[in-house]
Amino acid sequence: MSNKPNAREAIVDTASRLFFTQGYHATGLNQIIKDSESPKGSLYYYFPHGKEELALTCINRTSEEVARLLRHYMESEAVPAQAVQNFIMSMANEAEKSSFEGLVPFSFWVAVETSCVSHELRTACQCVFRDWQDIIAKRLIREGVQEETAECKASVVVSLFEGALLQALTCRNIQPLEAAAECIPAILA
């Protein structure tokens, strides 16, 4: 009872997990409907444009989720460098806890993959990176950093984190993330 729109939620949940751990092309619609225990009819009922629309939804939803988390960490520390370090290490712990198999929402390497699919998906991924960068930059500006410098450093933080996550997932080891966190103060100084 009262299972009104939870089929949609189940689909988006599992699809997000699969897209971000396996990749867009590696994830089949059949696997999504099997894992989410939802019928294929529902998938095309909620996402008439199919896989691409579903992916777009997953990207936007995950992006917002992460932005919220990032904002939380950036606000809850007096020193920006410490905030970023906490954020990175929390993600590292999360990844390790799930044996590098769970949804590590920041791992946006799907961006390049989906960029080849359609212009719409590429634009969505662009926005994701820009949003994250903005959150960090705004915090730095508030600290008195000049705007242009802040944008630049925020971009570096995002890049470093994405790259470290890529290495960590490949090697199934949080060491690259630890090294990244350690270097943050030197970058933001």
Which residues contact DNA (rule: CB under 7 A)? 1, 3-8, 25, 27-31, 38-42, 44-46, 48-52
Closest by CA to 165, choosing from 155, 175, 156, is: 175
Q: Does 138 bind a second copy (CB under 8 A)?
A: no
The 28-57 site mask, x for binding a second copy (CB under 8 A), equals: ------------------------------
Closest by CA to 16, choosing from 65, 73, 71, is: 65
User: What's the per-residue H, E or C state across 112-139?
Assistant: HHHHCCCHHHHHHHHHHHHHHHHHHHHH
Closer residue to DNA (CB): 5 or 144 = 5
Closest by CA to 15, choosing from 57, 48, 64, is: 57
Quick one: which H or E segment has residue 79?
none
Q: Does 136 bind a second copy (CB under 8 A)?
A: no
Closer residue to a second copy (CB): 43 or 174 = 174
Q: Which stretch binds a second copy (CB under 8 A): 41-49, 55-63, 65-73, 121-129?
A: 121-129
Cβ of 6: how many Cβ atoms within 10 Å?
11
Closer residue to a second copy (CB): 76 or 159 = 159
